Amino acid sequence: MTPPALPDRARVVIVGGGVIGCSIAYHLAHAGWTDVVLLERDRLTSGTTWHAAGLMTCFGSFSETSTKIRLYSRELYAQLEEETGQATGFKPVGLIEAAADHDRLEEYRRVATFQRHLGLEVEEISPREMSDLFPWARTDDLVAGFHVPGDGRVNPVDLTTALAKGARRLGVRVVEGVSVEDVLTEGGAVTGVRTSTGETVEAEHVVNCAGMWARELGARNGLVIPNQSAEHYYLITDEIEGMDPNAPIFEDPASYGYYREEGGGMMVGLFEPKAAPWKVEGVPRDFSFGKIPPDWDRMSPFLEKAMARVPVTLEVGVRTFFCGPESFTPDLAPAVGQAPGIRNYFVAAGMNSVGVLSAGGLGRVMAHWITTGRPDVDVTGFNVDRFRPWQADDDYRAARTTEILGTVYAAHTPGKQLRTARNRLLSPVHDRLVGHGGYLREVSGWEVADWFAGDGVHPVAEPTWGQAPWFEEWKAEHHAVREGVGLMDMSFMAKLRVQGSDAAEVLDRVSAGAVTAETGMITYTQWLDDDGRIEGDLTVTKLGDDDFWVVVSDTAHGHALAWLDRYVTAHASDVTVTDVTADHAQLNVQGPLSREVLAAVTGADVSNEAFPFRAARWIDVAGAEVLCVRITYLGELGYELYVPADHALHVYDALLAAGAPHGIRPVGLKALASLRMEKAYRDFGHDIDNTDCPLEAGLGFALALDKPGGFVGREAVLARKEANAAAGGMGQRLVQLRVLDPEPLLYHAETVYRDGELVGYVRAASYGWTLGGAVGLAMVSGGGVPVTPDWLRAGTWEVDVAGTRHPVEVSLRPMYDPTSERVKA
């Protein structure tokens, strides 16, 4: 067969003709970008799309981005046939999600309340009502169900064909039988692709939608896309008498199964708790429409439990028992966005078995990102630049994949954590954390203490939505920092050394704050995009005229590196960025007695006059040269110590010994969360994200709007500020709230009401041991009315926790130490 002729160039080349690639092509065309070529190495849908189960369900996510992506997809699939003439097989037969225990009931009630806020029609129903809607399932032992009448099913092959047809009609070229061998770059930017025909297609943008081959394609350009294929199973029974083709989809995650009509029989799909990775060394290039030999011995227990939920499936024959590959990422979130280090190389892969139901909305998001240069939804949890090189290792992917597939259907009770592929990154003081009884959890690959059980005590914790026995340890650590002194290991924070003759100029330009004004000072600042939206929330310490210390959160590690590299490369600046995260421990001494402890281990003058708030000095601490910065993320007098890793244990021990007379104690992440939440300190990727303007997020104080030379995003922020002034205030604001009843707990995504009207939801929360109730940060909208202090005071405020509303107080100012007198003491 003669390969098709390829154009010499295209504005965009999309690699991969699965449902994701075709959706991006379709949406680019609708955005007016029709000079697009989609290259598929075999035929459309080959790989994983062709055998997808075809569920189009929206229920179950606490993510606004994911929910809106699915809702958009559902709406698009319902109307695509009218536009293209190609059926998609979409049938809104409805979804029933079963809650088999009270933990799942609590989770689903919280999810349902949140997703109703975003427009999903979902109602709680009884086991009897579940049986009425899906009489084949045994429901007598279930607690409740959640019914979404607009959800349904779709034919993956027909859907992909419709998207490709819609793209072609607008001018996109879809070429089958041609693979991309390499993505070509020059000067840190995409220039085109080299294909299996030997031809080169020049391109301004390339989009890696290669599915389970995305990791290998990306690796040729040094990119980390750690998706891994795993065995994924479903069976289809023989015909079942009375089987209704319009029956709803039924899901019982506790039984590992989903169930829907197929050809007069029933499809039983599985998400088993312990999965099997497939072809860790690399997926065969000629694997297109293949199947994997099923492992009956491994799957039998899971299959039996799933089929027992719908007993009729045990009474009829099995027409098909299918095993095929699905691609999963280490954190069960997709890998999307602009690749770090290569301008205009985009990625959309790692769909974690929800590619079909996400494809419509994700295609729209990616098309917007490519055509405008920025996403219009929160992508902080999805951005491909979050991954680190060690996550691409074969052993890591193999171990993590055995567990991550099972989390699709696992209960998401607070306190649950992954157990595979652990101990990848250890703090220099890791042994001390273990010795003090630290309950360790994974934080961006690091083993970090959540709380401490005490010296020599083995910590134990059971996941729960309510209060747990270890809350007493958490409470004691919180009060130690508020009233005395605590020692916290935060070595997981990302630390960057930025040096060079252009370092000051670059950092001053990308930072919204005045970060270069004074040597020996730390500045809290944001990095913004051209639209004045937040891309980074961090600190910059000026060590010298051409030497800076930048600290960002662990979750923003890769994004900060990529953002800074992109600017440096684009402007050909003389700047060297060195990642020194592993070279230095970060030990934080925090609390009103922290000065006494620090003074006992250094000869430096740490008095308020000699070492004021925001000062940074190289000092001797217990014989080690340490960068000491007087700053806090907990709302008290405190110091961050950046200690060379080989001196960290000695310094840690010296601080504990010096603090013993003052009652010092190790402090974990739970206390970090509760302390910072009481002070309403922000956390990028949790309560602020890339869709937020710093003015709405309450960060206007950190902007140096009048600094010479300005900063990236300044004009957009000024325009927004002027518009807000003309309107009498901002239309939405990030507010702090506290539940007046001390019993309910907040986690994330609880909806907020003013005078009975829904106005927003909680983005992040913790318990406030000093304030006496759960505390959170919520973005609330005035619905056309400016959100002002008067508007807040005039309303009666409530928060919905699992279907029950509780009175709350709200504030624009921090409820704890609003003037920061304690911080500056």
Of 586, 583, 579, which is closest to residue 550 (Cα–Cα)?
A: 579
- Please count the other Cβ atoms lying within 10 Å of the Cβ belonging to residue 288: 14
Confidence of residue 343 (pLDDT cuts 50, 70, 90): very high
CA distance 754 to 782: 9
User: Radius of gyration of the chain from Cα atoms?
Assistant: 27
User: If you search the block for the tokens 């504030």, which residue do you land on?
Assistant: 811
Q: What is the DSSP letter of 62?
A: -
Backbone angles phi, psi at 477, to 5 degrees: -65, -40
Report the SS3 class of residue 764: strand
Q: What is the pLDDT of residue 1?
A: 56
- Report percent pLDDT > 70 for the chain: 100
d(CA 736, CA 748) in angstroms, rounded, equals 13
- Predicted TM-score (pTM) of the model is 0.96
What is the band of 450 on the pLDDT scale with cuts at 50, 70, 90?
very high
**Bridge pairing between strands 249-252 and 95-99:** parallel
- In this prediction, residues 708-733 reach a mean pLDDT of 97
Q: Report which secondary-structure segment, H or E, holds 776.
A: strand 773-781
13 closest CA partner among 214, 160, 202, 224 = 202
Contacts of residue 784, Cβ cutoff 8 Å, sequence gap at least 6: 731
Confidence of residue 111 (pLDDT cuts 50, 70, 90): very high
Q: Is 167 helix (H, G, I), strand (E, B) or coil?
A: helix
Across residues 509-533, what is the average pLDDT?
97
**pLDDT (0 to 100) of residue 171:** 97
Which residue type does 561 have?
L
Among left, alpha and beta (phi > 0; psi -120 to 50; other), residue 170 is alpha
Q: Residue 485 to residues 33, 435, 480, 656, 661: CA-CA distances in angstroms?
A: 58, 20, 6, 10, 11
pLDDT band at 105 (very low <50, low <70, confident <90, very high): very high
**Can you give the pLDDT at residue 5?**
85
> What secondary structure letter does DSSP report for 685?
T
Helix (H, G, I), strand (E, B) or coil at 481: helix
Which CA distances in Å does 31 have to 169, 366, 567? 14, 11, 27
Q: What dihedral do alpha carbons 84, 88, 93, 96 form, nearest 10°? A: -120
SS3 content of the chain, % helix, strand, coil (to 5): 30, 30, 40
| Rounded average pLDDT over 533-539 | 98
Strands in 603-756 per DSSP E: 616-621, 624-629, 638-644, 665-666, 732-739, 751-754
Of 301, 378, 383, 305, the closest CA to residue 338 belongs to 383
DSSP per-residue string spanning 327-370: EE-TTSS-EEEEPTTSBTEEEEE--TT-HHHHHHHHHHHHHHHH
* Domains defined along the chain, listed by start: 9-372 (3.50.50.60), 494-579 (3.30.70.1400), 584-663 (3.30.1360.120)
For the chain, how far is it from start to end, CA to CA, in angstroms? Answer: 79
pLDDT at position 4:
78
The answer for residues whose C-beta is within 8 angstroms of residue 793's C-beta and 6 or more apart is none
Question: What confidence tens digit (pLDDT) does each residue in 550-575 have?
Answer: 999 999 999 999 999 999 998 888 99
Q: What is the pLDDT of residue 623?
A: 95
Q: Are strands 345-349 and 200-208 parallel, antiparallel or unpaired?
A: parallel
- Between CA 497 and CA 131 the distance in angstroms is 62
CB proximity list for 492: less than 8 A, separation 6 or greater: 425, 427, 443, 444, 446, 448, 554, 586
Q: C-alpha 497: how far from its chain's center?
A: 26
Both tokens of 382, joined, read 């999805």
31-70 pLDDT, tens digit per residue, is 999 999 999 999 999 999 999 999 999 999 999 999 999 9
- Reported as a pLDDT band with limits 50, 70 and 90, residue 113 is very high
CA distance to 428, 473, 491, per residue, from 587 (Å): 10, 20, 7
Residue range 187-200, pLDDT digits in tens: 999 999 999 999 99
165 burial type by CB count under 10 A (0-12 exposed, 13-18 middle, 19+ buried): middle
For the chain, the average pLDDT equals: 97
